[in-house]
């Protein structure tokens, strides 16, 4: 074969693969997503379900996101609270920095419900992707990873998947609980935040190793007002968190008594906003407050 023909075939094969892979990913809200812009791509995937279960699972996603007023729900322990991610700052005023996709399953595949590393990851055609796997499992704690090395690597233009979230979404899982878990997991997956409970947490940037470090990170920088009393938190007895009972402390839907405006503390918001800025080149609304600290470089380091 002539050299040109070989090149042509390689190009043809590459193009047809990309088209096939793109066909897997459908817009959650037709017309909402923008290509070519710098956006963060949230990709939902209901796994290990029958076709019918998959359809039920997909219907829960708009409630978890709560982007539009038709899909905002409330939960109550002490008063009504909005729980969907995009009803809460800093996500609420930065929704325009996100695209929303889902993967349409056309056949039953219970084996995928194991929810291990995602076979989709290598086919994702978008950069700045966070994979959200909603898995058909009875007992699996939600968890998430932020691929920090990817996010902060100067060569990250080549990196496509920046984070992964795994959540239980069996038929009985109700949207308020799923939304609460999702808010927490997005703190991990986009903010790079640690758990703040004493069993599991945590490290930089939201668990300080000592009161001295906490003062240096949060009060000296002005990120947290001087009159805030820091509290013990995270795994190590000596470690310190800026605010108690936030969404990163977890503790579950039934036990948490967090005011919705305190879901993410100023420390959490700064890192979420910083990462939105890193990935998309701009921030809006609630994130503008943090511009004075500089979003193009870390305000403090470990
Ligand atoms: Zn967690």
Domains of the chain as residue ranges with CATH: 25-194+261-293 (3.40.390)
pLDDT on residue 172: 65
CA of 52 to the centre of ligand 1 (A): 30
pLDDT on residue 180: 81
DSSP strand E in the chain: where?
25-27, 40-47, 74-76, 80-82, 98-103, 129-135, 143-146, 161-168, 231-232, 240-241
CA dihedral (49, 52, 58, 59) positive or negative: negative
CA of 158 to the centre of ligand 1 (A): 27
pLDDT on residue 202: 77
DSSP string, 93-123: GGGGGEEEEEEPP-S--GGGGG--S-TTGGG
Asked if residues 123 and 24 have their Cβ atoms less than 8 Å apart, the reply is yes
- State which residues of the chain have pLDDT below 50: 1, 5-20, 149-150, 154-158, 254-256
CA of 107 to the centre of ligand 1 (A): 32
CA of 11 to the centre of ligand 1 (A): 43
CA of 201 to the centre of ligand 1 (A): 8
């Amino acid at each position: 074969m002539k050299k040109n023909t070989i090149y042509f075939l390689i190009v043809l094969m590459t193009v047809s693969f990309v088209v096939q892979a793109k066909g897997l990913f459908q817009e959650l809200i037709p017309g909402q997503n923008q290509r070519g812009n710098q956006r963060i791509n949230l990709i939902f995937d209901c796994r290990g379900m029958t076709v019918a279960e998959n359809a039920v699972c997909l219907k829960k996603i708009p409630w978890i996101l709560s982007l539009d007023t038709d899909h905002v729900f409330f939960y109550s322990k002490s008063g009504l609270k909005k729980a969907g991610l995009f009803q809460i700052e800093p996500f609420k005023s930065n929704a325009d920095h996100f695209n929303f996709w889902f993967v349409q399953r056309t056949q039953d595949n219970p084996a995928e419900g194991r929810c291990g590393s995602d076979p989709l990851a290598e086919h994702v055609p978008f950069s700045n992707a966070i994979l959200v796997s909603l898995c058909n499992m009875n007992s699996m704690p939600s968890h998430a990873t932020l691929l920090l090395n990817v996010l902060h690597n100067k060569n990250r233009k080549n990196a496509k998947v920046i984070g992964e979230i795994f959540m239980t979404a069996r038929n009985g899982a109700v949207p308020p609980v799923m939304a609460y878990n999702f808010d927490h997991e997005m703190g991990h997956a986009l903010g790079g935040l640690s758990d703040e409970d004493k069993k599991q947490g945590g490290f930089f940037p939201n668990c300080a190793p000592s009161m001295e470090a906490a003062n240096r990170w949060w009060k000296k920088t002005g990120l947290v007002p001087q009159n805030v009393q820091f509290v013990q938190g995270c795994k190590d007895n000596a470690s310190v968190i800026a605010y108690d009972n936030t969404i990163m402390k977890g503790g579950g839907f039934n036990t948490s008594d967090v005011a919705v405006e305190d879901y993410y503390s100023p420390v959490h918001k700064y890192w979420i906003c910083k990462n939105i800025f890193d990935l998309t080149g701009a921030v809006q609304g609630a994130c503008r407050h943090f511009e004075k600290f500089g979003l193009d470089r870390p305000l403090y380091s470990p």
